[in-house]
């Protein structure tokens, strides 16, 4: 209600004095960040239209689900976790193992059992499995705080990666899993890239909605209070460990969902997609977009994907160094952003 009233008042003011909008928004980094990222995305879509834009959109949707889910833990609750990629991987591997229908017996490498389940049967399992692992891990993690929390979550990411690599009669190790199923509802198969993007956006919408309901509820306010001062909120009789565990599990389930979607999108996965570096990138997306802001995570994921894919079109690079130079530019841009905008593009809270 208040947003609507505010918007109407703002519009009235702009109608009376058109210059006022410019004067007020000139200094607003937030507005400009929004305009630039969205504008660049729009231009990119129009410029590079068609198939590639759909691919980039799909990559964005998967990163966005991950970023929003991680923001619940890092931004709202103040637990800096770099282990999120582990839950992402668990979701992906659950989906891959359950739905893969490749005939591995033909190959001269590792054979694993194939279940050949449909996508929608495996999806809940992927989500619940990520949640269960998070529950077990979270009970232990609740004993830690701050810097130590970063370290133990780091440990979790390493353990998860090693498990994917070494549990060979389930994951085929470095050989990877082929032919992960695409979703199908009766005769409607999401085989085309555009249909899959639509499905991804539906799931992204769902995750955003759930996250929004959480952070605007009284539950969400307790989380924010834990971030600000855990002892203080404990004094009021809140069992903070329960709250922390709950949001940790919810967030992990969303990451598991993202992983399941990724496995189905790419139809092939191997442990290289779940290395620690990806986790660090994810944390930087969340910080880049803005902590404790769902919109910030969406914007951060968009900015990151656009930056990375946009780099493919930087002209005049010698072909041998194209990849390395792109990575360097990306790194420099991230450092500059953190230097001049440590709260992220649209965030309100600094680590």
Partner 1 sequence: MGFSFIKRLVAFSLLAVLVVVAAGCGEEEKGPFRIGVMESVTGAGETYGTVAVQAKQLAVDEINAAGGINGRMLELVVEDSKCNAQDAITAYNKLTDVDEVKIILGTSCSGAMLGAAPLAEKEGVVMFSGLATNPDIAEAGDYIFRTSLSDATVGVDTGNVLWADGIRNLATINESTDYAEGVRRTTTAQFEKLGGQIVAAESYPSDTTDYRTQLTKILNATPDALHIAAQAEASGGTIIKQVRELGYDGPIYADVVPIGTTALEIAGEAATGVKAITPDLDPANAKAQEVLAAFREEYDYVTLPWFLGSAYDNVYIAAECLKKTGDDQDADGFRDCLYDITWSGTIGVDYSFDEKGEVVGLSNAVLEVLPVAERTEENGGYRVLGAAPSN
Which residues are at the interface with partner 1 (CB under 8 A)?
48, 50-52, 55-56, 59, 106-110, 165-166, 168, 173-176, 178-179, 262, 266-270, 272-273, 309, 312, 319-324, 326-327
Does an H or E element contain 129, and which?
Answer: helix 119-141
Between residues 32 and 52, which has the closer beta carbon with respect to partner 1?
52
Between residues 195 and 234, which has the closer beta carbon with respect to partner 1?
195
In sequence order, the 6+-apart residues with CB closer than 8 A to the CB of 37 are 299, 302, 303, 306, 345
Q: Give me the least distance between CB of 47 and partner 1, in Å please.
A: 10
DSSP 318: -
Q: Distances in Å between the alpha carbon of 253 and those of 66, 126, 207, 224?
A: 10, 8, 10, 20
Sign of dihedral through CA atoms 301, 306, 311, 312?
A: positive
Q: Quote the distance between the C-alpha of residue 275 and its chain's center.
A: 15
Q: Give me the least distance between CB of 178 and partner 1, in Å please.
A: 7
Altogether, the residues listed in the chain come to a count of 351
Q: Give me the least distance between CB of 171 and partner 1, in Å please.
A: 11
Q: Give me the least distance between CB of 195 and partner 1, in Å please.
A: 14
Q: Give me the least distance between CB of 244 and partner 1, in Å please.
A: 31
Q: Give me the least distance between CB of 107 and partner 1, in Å please.
A: 6
Q: Give me the least distance between CB of 291 and partner 1, in Å please.
A: 26
Nearest to 225 by CA among 214, 213, 236: 236
Between residues 27 and 50, which has the closer beta carbon with respect to partner 1?
50
DSSP 74: I
**CB burial of residue 251 (10 Å; 0-12, 13-18, 19+):** buried
Q: Give me the least distance between CB of 109 and partner 1, in Å please.
A: 5
Between residues 206 and 277, which has the closer beta carbon with respect to partner 1?
277
Between residues 5 and 106, which has the closer beta carbon with respect to partner 1?
106
Between residues 56 and 249, which has the closer beta carbon with respect to partner 1?
56
Q: Distances in Å between the alpha carbon of 325 and those of 305, 322, 332?
A: 17, 5, 11
Between residues 195 and 309, which has the closer beta carbon with respect to partner 1?
309
Partners of 188 in the beta sheet?
Answer: 185
State whether residue 177 is helix, strand or coil.
Answer: strand
For residue 230, the tally of other CB atoms under 10 A from its CB is 18
Between residues 213 and 322, which has the closer beta carbon with respect to partner 1?
322
């Amino acid at each position: 209600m208040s947003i609507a009233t505010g918007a109407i008042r703002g519009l009235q003011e702009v109608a009376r004095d058109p210059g006022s909008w410019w004067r007020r928004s000139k200094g607003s980094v937030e507005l400009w960040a929004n305009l630039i990222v969205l504008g660049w995305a729009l231009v990119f879509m129009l410029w590079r239209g068609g198939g590639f834009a759909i691919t980039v959109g799909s990559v964005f949707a998967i990163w966005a689900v991950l970023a929003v889910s991680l923001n619940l833990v890092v931004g709202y609750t103040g637990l800096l976790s770099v282990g999120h990629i582990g839950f992402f991987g668990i979701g992906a591997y659950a989906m891959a193992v359950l739905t893969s229908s490749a005939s591995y017996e033909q190959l001269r490498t590792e054979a694993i059992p194939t279940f050949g389940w449909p996508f929608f049967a495996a999806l809940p399992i992927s989500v619940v499995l990520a949640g269960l692992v998070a529950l077990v891990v979270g009970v232990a993690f609740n004993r830690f705080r701050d810097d130590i929390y970063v370290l133990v979550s780091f440990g979790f990411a390493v353990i998860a990666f090693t498990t994917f690599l070494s549990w060979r009669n389930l994951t085929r190790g470095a050989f990877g899993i082929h032919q992960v199923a695409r979703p199908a509802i009766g005769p409607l198969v999401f085989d085309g890239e555009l249909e899959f993007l639509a499905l991804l956006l539906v799931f992204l919408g769902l995750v955003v909605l759930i996250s929004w309901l959480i952070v605007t509820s009284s539950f969400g306010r307790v989380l924010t209070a834990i971030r600000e001062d855990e002892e203080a909120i404990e004094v009021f009789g809140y069992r903070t460990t329960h709250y922390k565990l709950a949001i940790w599990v919810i967030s992990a389930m969303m990451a598991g969902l993202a992983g399941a979607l990724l496995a189905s999108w790419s139809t092939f996965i191997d442990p290289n997609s779940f290395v620690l570096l990806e986790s660090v990138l994810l944390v930087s997306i969340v910080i880049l977009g803005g902590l404790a802001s769902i919109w910030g995570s969406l914007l951060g994921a968009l900015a990151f994907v656009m930056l990375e894919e946009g780099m493919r079109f930087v002209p005049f690079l010698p072909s041998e160094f194209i990849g390395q130079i792109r990575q360097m530019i990306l790194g420099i841009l991230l450092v500059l952003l953190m230097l001049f905008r440590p709260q992220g593009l649209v965030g309100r809270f600094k680590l």
